[in-house]
Structure 1
Amino acid sequence: MAAEPTTPERAMTRSQDKRADEEAQKSDAAQHESKESASDTPSEGDQGLQDNSNVPKMSFLKLFWFFFYNFGLFAWGGPVAQIALIKDKLVVQDKWITLTRFQRVFSVYQILPGPEAAELCMFFGCLSAGRIGGIIAGMAFILPGFLLMLLASYVYTLAGFENQYFNASFRALQPIVAAMILRATHKIAEHSVRKHDTKKIDPFLVIIAVCTAINCALRLNIFISLGLYGTIYMFIARRLWIPAAVLFALQYCGYAIYAVFRGVPSPVSLALGVARAPSLINLFVLGLVSGSLSFGGAYTAIPFVQVEAVLLGAWLPQSVFIDGIAIGNILPAPLVIFATFVGFQGAYLENGSLGNAFAGAIIITLGMFFPCFLFTIAGHELLERLVRNQFLASFFDGLCGSVIGVIAMIAAQILKASVEGNLDKAKEKTLGEAVAATAQVGPAAVLYVLALAVLYKFTNKYTALFLVIAGGVAGQFLFLDV
């Protein structure tokens, strides 16, 4: 029977075994890297983030037609369907870039203002034909929906204000739009209040969303909440509990002091006053500021446009504003295209000139899309470095959480307005008209509940289109005689 090795011998044996294991691991790693290189898969180091070898170089005309035909004409179903279409065509089928790189690019645009689908088209256009190519690709994606919205705005102007059939259909669409916004709030919240590493719900982000909604109800300015909660979450992410608690308490102490000496803020205190009248320059600034605030997509721009145009400026009726959102939901375009409708109707209502209306539609659309063009074309690599910065990343996380509260509050306000309809003007009407206006509330509430149920049950990209068509037909039976 062989003698057992002594303690020094056992130690030497373990050391030799450890070195052998390390060498084997290095060999396996080298073989793995070799296989990746052979299959054109990016190494672990760069994750394929800089590999543009598969991107075709196109002429400007060919690039325009490529994005116009493949994406602009088929951008139905909202941002989720649009992004899936771009990913399937350019990443999965044509393999312009790796899936890893696409996910990084998409994460950048999720926390920056502007419609992500349009920004992705601009990004791919930049890869193919430089910065000018990015501008061309973005315009090709937006153009079909923009032209259709111009046409819809014109038709609405011809028939929507006086035609009882037209108005009956849009009266039915208003609660359906309110349901769409509430469902969208839930969708956005599903990824905006989760931790990046564990994908679990972050209770602090949920609290931020709830408190922002409360602040909106208290009529605190939206910008105060966004900046404040972005800063608070920066402290929370670094476990700086005392500064976070102090800032949280100060907002309500400041509000209480203001309320005591100046009274509760008015609803228009949420506005900046950039569009008190729908002049062309005001419409451009309204679009520019709204586009700069559209974190999480178009739904964040909705409350700002509403408070400026409907509440403070009072040059656009609430019902017309909701109709514009309804039309935007069924067109092959980013939902922020509803701004084109707002600009058209606002400029038309100002002086009744169709030429001024078309100019207003164009100018507000330029303002709305300018920020996303600027961010994307200016340099994606710089944006990626900024997003990877942990200091700024936590601020954006808090800001996105706060955005959920803003959207939730506007969803509640639009729900109230869409169900009540003209109920607030019932006192100005005859008894019969007041009773008829009150009778609208029940059917509108039923439409809201049914639309919400359909949106949660069916996730097909054409669900919104089906609801709008069904609502237009239902309006002829429910609201025509009102």
Structure 2
Amino acid sequence: MPSSPAIPFRDALVVWLRVALLSFGGPAGQIAVMHRILVDEKRWVDEPRFLHALNFCMLLPGPEAQQLATYLGWTLHGVRGGLVAGVLFVLPGFVSILALSLLYAGMRDVPAVTALLFGLKAAVLALVFMAVWRLAGKALVTSWLRGLAVAAFVAIAVFDLPFPLIVLGAGALGYWVARHRRAWLGDGLQPAVDMPHGRVSHRHLWRVVPLGLVLWAAPVLACALWLGADHVLVTVGEFFSKVAVVTFGGAYAVLAYIAQQAVEQYAWLQPGEMLDGLGMAESTPGPLIQVVQFVGFLAVFRDAAPLSPWLGGLLGAVLTTWVIFVPCFLFIFAGAPYVERLRANQALSGALRAITAAVLGVMASLALWFAAHVLFSETRHIAGMTLPVLHSLQWLPLGWCALALWLLAWRGWGLLPVLALTTLGGAGSWWLLY
């Protein structure tokens, strides 16, 4: 397996903790943070390997940013590096959303929390736009790739095509172009040459896959034996185990399905509460898919008997997080050794480069969706797109977003000072106006 003995594991541990604490802004912002620290600042990972790892993670179900951290941790220090990077990436968000879930359940309306999230959302929006712009500048190096990104944007924003279909279509086009029109994909299609070669041993699959499946299923089976197969905790575990394998394209791609099932079929939440949970996930570090932790908490909190509501909610949050993220480690540790060797295949590298372009188009559509809900108080659906009602523009969030973008992009401020300024300043302005 890849390893980097020149990089002390202790140094990597500090860096992964730093990445975790700065992982705001959904996948676009989180990927940008990892790129800035690991590629630009530390130079531990080169650009071709970073983009190849990103392409691979985009193909997997689950949160791509967390899987990217796990994969890069694996390339640096093997399994222990992947475990540390992946767990640390999730931990700050888990603690934050658990604390907010406890507050939410105990004090349904928490003005202090609303005030703190007010300015933070504006800064997160700025970070997302800047991240998409910077990644596009690195990945969309030809007119064909830029056109593919636009086509993917239209496909998901206007025609609501399934994300897996967009990915498969882009990959097929990229594979053909790499074989017949390689110039359309830009220079340097052949990745770095320091990847390992030779036949991959399949023995690791016999160790990784059974162990991963047992770890994934064991908590749900234990709850069924303890509380009965019809207990809500078991239902939550089973439901989110299914979600874990259909979450292609990140959280937004599956949120509609989760909301429909949690609200209409299981009656775990009210419609507006799903949006409250999304606001928590958008404004705290960690993968956006951690909104499911809030859903799991409330589902069991409200129907915990014979457990106490607070213990049930805690177990619901832990179990939901477990069944969502354990498969991510399984996919990475099982597939990474094969993917490292695929870097030498130009046709497959072309397919992955095209997939990156398509995914950037999808990310741009999600960034605009986020902007419509942060900067405007009203939205409407036209031709399949969520568009803002222009007269409902909220000038205060727009001002904080513009300030954050200016500080980040032109003044060179770090993420933490900008987030601190917009959070505290936004909270103060919210109290004055609302």
| TM-score above 0.5, yes or no | yes
Which amino acid counterpart does residue 177 of structure 1 have in structure 2?
A: V
1:109 matches 2:65: no
Matched-pair contact (CA < 8 Å) for 1:175–1:444: yes
Q: Which residue of 2 aligns with 1:19?
A: none
Matched-pair contact (CA < 8 Å) for 2:400–2:422: no
- Tell me the distance in 2 between the aligned counterparts of 1:456 and 1:364: 37
Q: Which residue of 2 aligns with 1:441?
A: 394
Q: Which residue of 1 aligns with 2:155?
A: 215
1:406 matches 2:362: yes
1:467 matches 2:422: yes
Matched-pair contact (CA < 8 Å) for 1:212–1:405: yes
1:283 matches 2:243: no
Over 3 Å counting, the alpha-carbon distance change for 1:208 and 1:313 in structure 2 is farther
- Tell me the distance in 2 between the aligned counterparts of 1:159 and 1:440: 32
- Tell me the distance in 2 between the aligned counterparts of 1:374 and 1:449: 40
Matched-pair contact (CA < 8 Å) for 2:83–2:329: no
1:232 shift after superposition: 1.9
1:311 shift after superposition: 6.4
Q: Which residue of 2 aligns with 1:164?
A: 111
1:207 shift after superposition: 0.9
1:189 matches 2:189: no
TM-score normalised over the length of structure 1? 0.59
- Tell me the distance in 1 between the aligned counterparts of 2:77 and 2:325: 16
- Counterparts of residues 8-407 of structure 1 (less than 5 Å): 54=6, 71-72=16-17, 75-78=20-23, 79=30, 80-82=32-34, 105-113=49-57, 114-115=64-65, 116-126=68-78, 131=79, 133-134=80-81, 136-138=83-85, 141-142=88-89, 144-158=91-105, 161-193=108-140, 201-216=141-156, 217-239=158-180, 279-290=236-247, 293=248, 300-310=249-259, 314=263, 315=269, 317=272, 319-328=275-284, 331=285, 335-336=286-287, 338-348=288-298, 352=302, 353-378=309-334, 380-407=336-363
- Tell me the distance in 1 between the aligned counterparts of 2:399 and 2:243: 34
Give the secondary-structure state (helix, strand or coil) at the position aligned to 2:160: coil
1:202 shift after superposition: 1.3
Matched-pair contact (CA < 8 Å) for 2:167–2:359: yes
Cα displacement string for residues 387-435 of structure 1 (whole angstroms, at most 9, x for unaligned residues): 32222212211111111111111111221122333678xxxxxxxxxxx
Matched-pair contact (CA < 8 Å) for 1:174–1:326: yes
Matched-pair contact (CA < 8 Å) for 2:378–2:392: no
1:383 shift after superposition: 1.4
Give the secondary-structure state (helix, strand or coil) at the position aligned to 1:112: helix
1:225 shift after superposition: 1.7
- Tell me the distance in 1 between the aligned counterparts of 2:16 and 2:174: 37
Matched-pair contact (CA < 8 Å) for 2:122–2:397: yes
Over 3 Å counting, the alpha-carbon distance change for 1:69 and 1:233 in structure 2 is closer
Which gives a bigger RCO, structure 1 or 2 (Cα 8 Å, sep 6+)? 2
Q: Which residue of 2 aligns with 1:452?
A: 405
1:172 shift after superposition: 4.3
- Tell me the distance in 2 between the aligned counterparts of 1:172 and 1:310: 26
- Tell me the distance in 1 between the aligned counterparts of 2:239 and 2:170: 29
- Tell me the distance in 2 between the aligned counterparts of 1:106 and 1:423: 36
Over 3 Å counting, the alpha-carbon distance change for 1:321 and 1:88 in structure 2 is same
Matched-pair contact (CA < 8 Å) for 1:150–1:361: no
Give the secondary-structure state (helix, strand or coil) at the position aligned to 2:246: helix
TM-score normalised over the length of structure 2? 0.65
Matched-pair contact (CA < 8 Å) for 2:125–2:401: yes
Q: Which residue of 1 aligns with 2:185?
A: none
CA RMSD of aligned residues (A): 3.8
Identity %: 16
Which amino acid counterpart does residue 308 of structure 1 have in structure 2?
A: Y
Cα displacement string for residues 26-58 of structure 1 (whole angstroms, at most 9, x for unaligned residues): xxxxxxxxxxxxxxxxxxxxxxx97866577xx
Which amino acid counterpart does residue 53 of structure 2 have in structure 1?
A: Y
1:162 shift after superposition: 1.1
- Tell me the distance in 2 between the aligned counterparts of 1:52 and 1:107: 19
Listed as ranges, the gaps of 5+ residues in structure 1 are 1-48, 57-62, 93-98, 194-200, 242-277, 294-299, 425-437
1:421 matches 2:371: no
Matched-pair contact (CA < 8 Å) for 2:52–2:352: no
Over 3 Å counting, the alpha-carbon distance change for 1:102 and 1:450 in structure 2 is closer
Aligned residues: 342
Which amino acid counterpart does residue 224 of structure 1 have in structure 2?
A: L
Matched-pair contact (CA < 8 Å) for 1:171–1:475: yes
Give the secondary-structure state (helix, strand or coil) at the position aligned to 1:111: helix
- Tell me the distance in 1 between the aligned counterparts of 2:40 and 2:153: 36
Over 3 Å counting, the alpha-carbon distance change for 1:184 and 1:287 in structure 2 is farther
Over 3 Å counting, the alpha-carbon distance change for 1:205 and 1:440 in structure 2 is closer
Over 3 Å counting, the alpha-carbon distance change for 1:367 and 1:421 in structure 2 is farther
Over 3 Å counting, the alpha-carbon distance change for 1:303 and 1:146 in structure 2 is closer
1:206 shift after superposition: 0.9
- Tell me the distance in 2 between the aligned counterparts of 1:419 and 1:407: 18
Listed as ranges, the gaps of 5+ residues in structure 2 are 24-29, 58-63, 183-234, 264-268, 303-308, 381-390
- Tell me the distance in 2 between the aligned counterparts of 1:103 and 1:422: 40
